[in-house]
Amino acid sequence: MADMLYNPFFFAQLGGDATHPPIDFNTDAIKIALVTSSYTPVKTDAFWSTPDGFEVSSSGYSAGGATLANVTVTQDDTNNWGKFTADPVTWTAVTLTARGAVIYKYNADPTLAQLVKYFDFGTDKTATGVDFTITFNAGGILTLGATA
């Protein structure tokens, strides 16, 4: 499986509805959670609670993942795109195996926590009593552009 954006995310960003409001990456709490190989991403999943029983579990890792820090949204009028990025995320001294990560808009009610993007690590990544860090591509966590 490759990285993917969830279809309901597109709907939300284009106006959405009461259940799928647009996500404001500048002000909303955006989280990243680690998932196991038992998770099969489905493009039509909308909320953090849709798939069940897939998140990693470890001391040093809190359920629901970590809140992204120093989120930045930039506009590039020369190249006609906008991007969303954040600082690297580190879980300290964890013992876990993760196959991927999910970016989502936090909501205390997981049935309303909107899924944004799935990152596929390609293979299981294991940490045994060490730090586990995700560093995002300089091109951004999410880049949107126009061709016209």
Pair of tokens at residue 79: 């190249």
Can you give the length of the chain in residues? Answer: 148
pTM over 0.85: yes
Arithmetic mean of pLDDT over the chain: 91
Pair of tokens at residue 50: 């849709």
**pLDDT at position 74, please?**
93
- HSE-up of 70 (CA within 13 Å, CB side)? 6
Q: How far apart (Å, rounded) are the C-alpha atoms in residues 123 and 76? A: 34
**pLDDT at position 53, please?**
75
**pLDDT at position 4, please?**
93
Contact status, residue 118 vs residue 45, Cβ threshold 8 Å: no
Judged against a pLDDT cut of 60, whether residue 148 lies above it is answered with no
Q: How far apart (Å, rounded) are the C-alpha atoms in residues 123 and 114? A: 25
| 45 three-class SS | coil
Mean pLDDT of the 47-60 span: 84
pLDDT in tens, 59-108: 889 999 999 999 999 998 888 889 999 999 999 999 999 999 999 999 98
**pLDDT at position 51, please?**
64
